[in-house]
Amino acid sequence: MAEVAPVPLLRRHMSNRRKSCPFSGKDAPRIDYKDVRLLNRFLSQRGKIIPSRISSVSHKKQRELAKAIKIARYLGLIAYVNL
């Protein structure tokens, strides 16, 4: 049998600089349960809330965002599940 050389793993080079929070800053949008278009940007295709490490939202704003999404779901503005 012929020996096969191991294939090196490809790694993506992640930059050390973190993305800034889209809700912090001077002209940043406010988190509001009635702003369905804004809230949908932070939902996956299945309707799950995207984690802050992916969406680059700060921890404080992520909690506010999750609360607004849950209120909008309760009021029927956003579906619980997208199929």
Could you read off the pLDDT of 9-55 as tens digits, one per residue?
666 665 666 678 999 989 999 999 999 999 999 999 999 999 999 99
Straight-line distance from the first to the last Cα atom of the chain, in angstroms, rounded to the nearest whole number: 49
Determine the pLDDT at residue 34: 97
d(CA 50, CA 12): 21
Triad 41, 45, 46: Cα angle to 5°: 120
**Domain boundaries 26-83, CATH class:** few secondary structures
Determine the pLDDT at residue 25: 87
Q: Which of 64, 67, 59 is nearest to 18 (CA)?
A: 59
Question: Are 47 and 79 spatial neighbours (Cβ–Cβ below 8 Å)?
Answer: yes
